Amino acid sequence: MDKRSEANRQTRERIARALLRLLGIKEFSDISVTDIVREAHVARASYYRNFSSKEDILVNAGRLIMVDFGKAMGEIDGGCLSYEGVVLTFRYFREYRIELLRLHEAGFTSIYERLFQEYVVRTAQGRIPESMLRYGVSFYTGALFNVYVRWLENGMKESPERMASLFYTMMAAAFESVGTSFMEGEKVDKAVGTHRCEAVAEER
C-alpha cells in the first residue's frame, strides 16, 4: 500500500471511530459533519474526500467493529459457532450497547446484521458443508443477531452467559430437530442438556 492510500485508510478509520464515540453521547440525527471532523481531528475536505454521507461512515464503522470482533474471537475454537463464541459475542456487543442502540433506533440495524453475517460466513468456510454454509449460517446469524437486538431493547438485564445459554440451547434444539450438528465444539445433545441446565441454574 502506497503512502497516500495508507493515509486515506487512516483518515477513514479516524472518522469512523470518531462517529462511534459521538454515538455514545448523541443521537445519530443530531451529529453534524462539524462534530465528526472535530472529534476525528481531520479537515472537512478530508471528510468529503472519503465519505459521501454519515450513512456511508456507518458501513466503515461497522467494518471496524467486526475487525475488532474478529480479533477478540480469534482464540476461540469454533468461533461464533461454539458456545464460548456465543458468550463472547454477547459480551463484545454489550461494549457497543449505547452506539448500537442509537443506530437501531435510527433504523440502521440491518447494516450491522449484514456485516456480522458476512464475518461468520467467512470464518465458517471449510468447517461445515456448503449447503449448510449457504442457508444454515443465515438462519444462525439472523437468530443470534436478533436475539442480541431484543436483549439490547430490553436493557440487557441478563448476563452474557445467561443469554448464551438460552440461545445455544434453542439453536442446538433447532438443528437437532433436522438431524444435523451445525455448531462447533460440542455435540447437540450435550449442548441441549448442559446449557439448558446452566440457564435454569442461573434463573434460580
Number of residues assigned to the chain: 204
pLDDT recorded at residue 179: 53
Q: Tell me the helices (H) and strands (E) count for the chain, helix number first.
A: 10, 0
For residues 166 and 112, give the distance between their C-alpha atoms in angstroms, rounded to a whole number: 22
CA–CA distance, 185 with 85 (Å, rounded to integer): 10
Q: What's the pLDDT score for residue 182?
A: 54
94, three cell numbers: 454489550
pLDDT at 51: 94
pLDDT tens figures, 95-149:
888 888 888 888 888 888 888 888 888 887 777 777 777 788 888 889 999 999 9
The confidence score (pLDDT) of residue 196 equals 46
Residue 175 pLDDT: 67
Entry pTM: 0.75
Residues of the chain under the 50 pLDDT cut:
184-201, 203-204
Average per-residue pLDDT for the chain: 82
- What is the Cα–Cα distance from 175 to 117, expressed in whole angstroms? 18
The residue type found at 139 is F
Identify which of 148, 197, 146 has the alpha carbon closest to the alpha carbon of residue 169: 197
Q: Where are the domains of the chain?
A: 1-51, 54-203
CATH superfamily of 1-51: Homeodomain-like (1.10.10.60)
- Distance CA(160)–CA(134), nearest Å, equals 28
User: Sign of the CA dihedral 29, 33, 34, 36?
Assistant: positive
